[in-house]
Amino acid sequence: MDSKPTILILCTGNSCRSHIGEGFLRAALVDLANVQSAGSKPAGYVHPLAIKVMAEVGIDISAHRSKHLKEFTEQSVNTVITVCGNADQACPIFPGQLNRHHWPFFDPAHATGTDAEILNCFRTVRDEMRRVFEAYAAGLHDARK
């Protein structure tokens, strides 16, 4: 059994935002936590543009897979972070859950416009999420000092 606390990031489709958050937290926390993501209605894939924009900042999420939150209902989850309103409403209480945060972000999978405009939307959401998740990770590091 992994002794590290589990942080679960949830969104509806588990194709973009939750994977971006998972990527940033895994990179920032390294071995301090078991960081996972899931969705209440998983899309079944990780969006190619989410993979692309994360690669642009040096984080590889290409091996991530879209998962249903039910995969975690029997596991001890210390912290749940929802990144969309639908997941926040559908989120159950997990065994061992001590913390819950709701940080909503626009779903870039719903962006419209030219290919360049859609890619820019993914980058904007990535950058917003980076600020929030890296600040959260810094707080967790500070708490360990």
Q: Is residue 47 part of a domain?
A: yes
Whether pTM exceeds 0.75: yes
pLDDT at 16: 96
Q: Is residue 55 part of a domain?
A: yes
Q: Is residue 37 part of a domain?
A: yes
pLDDT at 97: 72
Residue 66 CA: distances (Å) to CA of 11, 44, 69, 99 = 11, 5, 10, 23
- Domain range for residue 66? 6-138
6, two tokens? 């589990």
The burial of 135, by beta-carbon neighbours within 10 Å (0-12 exposed, 13-18 middle, 19 or more buried), is given as: exposed
Spatial separation of the C-alpha atoms in residues 31 and 25, rounded to whole Å: 10
Q: Is residue 60 part of a domain?
A: yes
Q: Is residue 1 part of a domain?
A: no
Q: Is residue 144 part of a domain?
A: no
| Sheet of strand 34-39, all strands in order from the earlier edge strand to the far edge | 34-39, 6-11, 79-82, 99-102
Q: Is residue 94 part of a domain?
A: yes
Total domains in the fold of the chain: 1
Relative to beta strand 6-11, strand 34-39 is parallel
**Looking only at Cα atoms, what is the longest distance across the chain?**
47
CA-closest candidate to residue 97, choices 3, 24, 8: 8
CATH of the domain at 72: 3.40.50.2300
pLDDT at 141: 85
Q: Is residue 81 part of a domain?
A: yes
pLDDT along the chain (145 residues), means of 10: 83 94 96 93 96 98 95 89 74 73 93 98 98 95 81
List, by residue number, the catalytic residues. Answer: 11, 84, 91
Spatial separation of the C-alpha atoms in residues 10 and 68, rounded to whole Å: 9
